[in-house]
Amino acid sequence: MVCCYCGCAGDLRPYGPRGAMVCFSCAMSSPEREAQTAQNFSAQLAACGDVAAIDGSHVGPYPAEHHKGTAHEH
Ligand SMILES: [Zn+2]
């Protein structure tokens, strides 16, 4: 897994175009990318529902109750 912009394999987050992996410096390299990063982050966070967890790993926000195997229909 590498950054979709610069190809590095550093601190990646899935907030690039259509969820592509980007490194922090590329994600913040321009106002447009920074806005896109913020937009993708909030969209993925919202998709997690009311209870979301961010643990600092590269997977981004995910449903906190996911590991319990409970499926909530929306
Ligand atoms: Zn990069």
Say if 74 falls within a structural domain.
no
Cα 71 to middle of ligand 1, angstroms? 35
Total structural domains within the chain = 1
- Whether 7 is covered by a domain: the verdict is no
Residue of higher predicted confidence among 22 and 46: 22
Q: Strand runs (DSSP E) across the chain, as ranges?
A: 12-13, 22-23, 52-53, 62-63
Residue 73 lies in a domain: no
Distance of alpha carbon 29 from alpha carbon 48, whole angstroms = 27
Is residue 1 one of the residues assigned to a domain?
no
Average pLDDT value for residue range 4-27? 92
Higher pLDDT, 34 or 54: 34
Looking at residue 57, its pLDDT comes to: 63
Per-residue pLDDT at 39 exceeds 80: yes
pLDDT surpassing 80 at residue 66: no
Per the structure, the complete domain to which residue 43 belongs is given by: 12-68
* Domain-located, residue 47: yes
Q: How far is the CA of 39 from the centre of ligand 1 (A)?
A: 18
In sequence order, which ranges of 17-67 are alpha helices (DSSP H)? 24-27, 31-47
pLDDT at 61 over 90: no
